[in-house]
A and B are shown apart, each in its own frame.
Chain A
Amino acid sequence: MNILSLFVLIPVVMLLGLWIARNLNQVRGVMVIGSSFLLALSVYLTVAFIQARQNGDTSAMLFTYSTPWFKPLNIAYSTGVDGISVVMLLLSSIIVFTGTFASWQLKPMTKEYFLWFTLLSTGVYGFFICTDLFTMFMFYEVALIPMYLLIGVWGSGQKEYAAMKLTLMLMGGSALLIIGILGIYYFSGATTMNITEIAAMHNIPVDIQKVFFPFIFIGFGVLGALFPFHTWSPDGHASAPTAVSMLHAGVLMKLGGYGCFRIAMYLLPEAAHELSWIFLILTTISVVYGALSACVQTDLKYINAYSSVSHCGLVLFALLMMTKTACTGAILQMLSHGLMTALFFALIGMIYGRTHTRDIRKLGGLMKIMPFLSVGYVIAGLANLGLPGFSGFIAEMTIFVGSFENNDVFHRTCTIIACTSIVVTAVYILRVVGKILFEKVADPHYEQLTDATWDERFSVCCLIFCVAGLGMAPLWVSNVINGGVSSVLSVINF
């Protein structure tokens, strides 16, 4: 049994467990046991991966396993991980684990909620472990559709509109992906759908590459909140229930960046070089526009959603710089953004659950009433604006240093423009922190509110621990990432 397949197998077993669970406690039990297993497994995988690398195993993918699936069509179930996917798996496990606790009190239809939630995580895990184009795509779509019901049924606000918009836009993206995947498969003349083998063949004509690169990059870019295809993100995040926002901003949006790097740029390297300027402009707009939009929002979730647009834009921006430092920074940013956005959304969910409003004009003085949540919020905010010691600083620093390594005017101009987002981020974070935490208590009813319960504290502490941990000791993570990035970049920069 391949260790990676367990990442799909465990959620499937969890689905069955949820199916037969009879009451709330059994549902919670299945979720806690399953997500703990997944967390333990991904920690074990990380350790095993680092050991294998230290023992001098330099092959691009480790723990590979392949078995034909649809043999006549050359489709195989093939798995394998490199440094990038290992940290992504770790991230997903952390978010699923904490997400379970963040939705501990969720009602109604708890069982169905967790059923779709687990199906979504199955897709996420499957996408990160697979190395076969078709299988990756299949898992990618598995991760998208549960969002519709999760937002539509358990969401708040304009949930029906947001759910439909999100689903349709993301599905539109995956429609583009199908064309791209078929184009890559047929024009490479490959008799396999394995991405490492197709990349090694490296024989798609440049003209053809230029046709299909935009399809795949935009297809994944929709999920990575690439301007102007990001519009699903604010509505979707604002309407989604807490754990779903966490999982969606924390992990699902990373699928976009990961796909752009792993499929679009890795398999179509010449086109990536020739067309990168278009997408660099778009991502620079994403970064700045997202940050500026966040400044004028009044809904806590909208602020965070736009901040996600800005930060995820930074991921794509760094990937397109195509230097080793920038790409390592991009992956670090995925990790860091995943963790701190999850933290943010968890806290916002908890505050909303108590005050029943997310409008910052109606909030104030929360520090006195719920100190634990407020301190958590401050920490999340500081991490978000890139304070040294937290993960955000490490990631953004690496990205901007790496981007500046490109010594032409265009790339440097883009970098400088994107850098301004750091300042803007500080503006919108500090504005919110000052307004909702430290001003006078806006509503006397708030005095009666309670601070976090044990399950909420647990989930928040886990995330803060990870955010700070990544900020204090980034070196081992960036070492793990580095290996993966350089093997992909060696193909991109041939």
Chain B
Amino acid sequence: MDYSQFFSMIPEATLMVALVIVFLADLILKGENKHSALSLLTGVLLVSQLAVCFMQTPAEAFSGLYVSTAATNIMKAILTGGSLIVVIMAQSWLQRADVADKEGEFYELLISTLLGMYMMMSSGHFLMFFLGLEMASVPMACMVALDKCRKESAEAAAKFIITATFSSGVMLYGISFIYAMTGTLYFDDVVNYIDATPMTIMGLVFFFSGLGFKISLVPFHFWTADTYQGAPTAVTGYMSVVSKGAAAFTLMAILMKVFAPIAEYYEYLLYIVIVLSITVANLFALRQNELKRFMAFSSISQAGYIMLAAVGSNGMALSSLIYYVLVYVVANMAVFTVINVVETRGKGNTRMSCYDGFYQTNPKLSFLMTLALFSLAGIPPFAGMFSKFFVFMAAAQNGSFLAYFVLFIALINTVASLYYYLLIVKAMYIKSNDNPLPEFRSDCNTKLALGLCTAGIVAFGVCSCVYDWIAAACI
């Protein structure tokens, strides 16, 4: 075996090293400064990891087991950036007395899920892909349960682990079908042998539904609301953007690479799932009055929009998906940062009613929240509108009547989604409240996280260089 092949896997290797460093530091560091030292260390490691991802060149190792392309490297950079924001915004939560001693664990679990996602995205083989997926989801369950003194958190973790393992089982079953029909598990080989036999299509459906669980597309979404609500807010944020982004990217990449010969079949699957995800999630979101639960349904419908890009299935569609995930990361993280800080200051309350009259006491926070919500709803000049439009463009490229019909449904749903995002804006700006949340000063970590997110919301859209850079990598 040629060990130099490991040099092709530099981002994974450095992330592994980072994991070990954080682990050792957690063991060694003692005393009052442990908290700040550990968080600073994690932050620095993630920033350097970001640099590594930017510098990585496309490579292939272990005879195609591991494939990294320019697109996967960009995706890794985006996810690392998202994790960095999670680490920053989680600080105010991690300082709480009952979680403070688990700070190191949080970082370690976060890095190991990230490592799993790296593996998943740059896999060239079904088993490698499965390995990455599991590596990403098992530590995630621990993260969800990190608030274990709260009943909801433990319940959320139980729900998550059960659905995660179930969906993995379904997916493995699907993969076994594909193996049976093609005799190989390498992506590059499968595509040569795959054809539209009923068994392969069964395999496709099982595989698709397995990943559908991870992306929480309807009808595989039932775990989402409870898990999002129960998990600590920082973890919810992490799940809703980073983990979802990775799974969506992988699904699209595999559909494009492996299932291209039976595209006409998976397109139908996509159409059904997209229409259901967007519509059902929007209908549920309309009636929520718990903000984390609300964001769970919002994220399901956003997942539908993300998958809309896959209808296009070419380089431009892939780039619009990556761009969508990027914009979604910053916008959603901004919302979760605000939720987190309000929860910490407002006695653990994430009900929507506690945002009534929020503008009167905390104008800056509510202004930033408004920007983030506008971006999620797709209102220009914020980045969300650009990413939505590009995704629609990718889907319209398909050109078929059905694609336009799905587009139509998706667009009508943007109006519904605007309605429920505006409900929060309305609560903050318009509703009067005799007893609004008291005025408070945010700590510098929250400010930093919000600053980064807002800069992204404003800049990623108007500065076309961001999209150009992604598009250049996807051709």
Contact = CB atoms under 8 A, between A and B. Distances in A.
Contact of B426 (A75, A160, A172): A160
B412 interface: yes
Interface size class of B (residues with CB under 8 A): 20 to 34
Interface stretch (A147-155, A194-202, A334-342, A477-485): A147-155
Given A72-B471, A141-B385, A175-B412, A186 B397 contact: yes
A315 interface: no
B414 interface: yes
B315 to A, nearest CB: 9
B178 to A, nearest CB: 33
A167 B425 CA distance: 13
A138 interface: yes
Contact of A178 (B374, B389, B399, B430): B389
Contacts of A182: 392-393, 396, 407
B415 A168 contact: yes
B422 interface: yes
Contacts of A168: 415, 418-419
Given A178-B392, A178-B411, A152 B429 contact: yes
Interface in B366-402: 374, 379-381, 385-386, 389-390, 392-393, 396-397, 399
A360 interface: no
A50 interface: no
A73 B380 contact: no
Given A164-B426, A186-B399, 18 more contacts: A70-B390, A137-B389, A138-B381, A141-B379, A142-B381, A153-B429, A153-B430, A160-B426, A160-B430, A175-B412, A175-B415, A179-B408, A182-B392, A182-B396, A182-B407, A183-B396, A185-B393, A186-B397
| Closest A-B pairs by Cβ, 5 of them | A175-B411, A72-B471, A182-B396, A138-B380, A152-B430
Contacts of B93: none
A266 interface: no
B431 to A, nearest CB: 8
27 contacts: A68-B464, A70-B386, A70-B467, A71-B464, A71-B468, A72-B316, A72-B467, A73-B471, A138-B380, A138-B381, A139-B380, A142-B380, A142-B381, A152-B430, A159-B430, A167-B418, A167-B422, A168-B419, A171-B418, A175-B411, A175-B412, A176-B411, A178-B389, A178-B392, A183-B396, A185-B393, A186-B397
B393 A73 contact: yes
Nearest to B418: A171
A171 B419 CA distance: 10
A173 B408 CA distance: 12
B396 A171 contact: no
Contacts of A179: 396, 404, 407-408, 411
A141 B380 contact: yes
Contacts of B396: 179, 182-183, 185-186
A167 B423 CA distance: 12
A7 interface: no
A145 interface: yes
Task: Please report whether the interface of chain B is mostly helix, strand, loop or mixed according to DSSP.
Answer: helix
B319 interface: yes
A149 B370 CA distance: 11
A149 B464 CA distance: 28
Contacts of B412: 172, 175
B469 to A, nearest CB: 10
A125 interface: no
Contacts of A137: 389
Interface in A54-93: 68-73, 75
A172 B415 contact: yes
Contacts of B464: 68-71, 75
A182 B374 CA distance: 22
Contacts of A139: 380
A120 B292 CA distance: 31
Nearest to A135: B380
B319 A164 contact: no
A235 to B, nearest CB: 16
Given A134-B389, A141-B385, A72 B319 contact: yes
B317 to A, nearest CB: 11
A164 B380 CA distance: 18
Contacts of A149: 425, 429
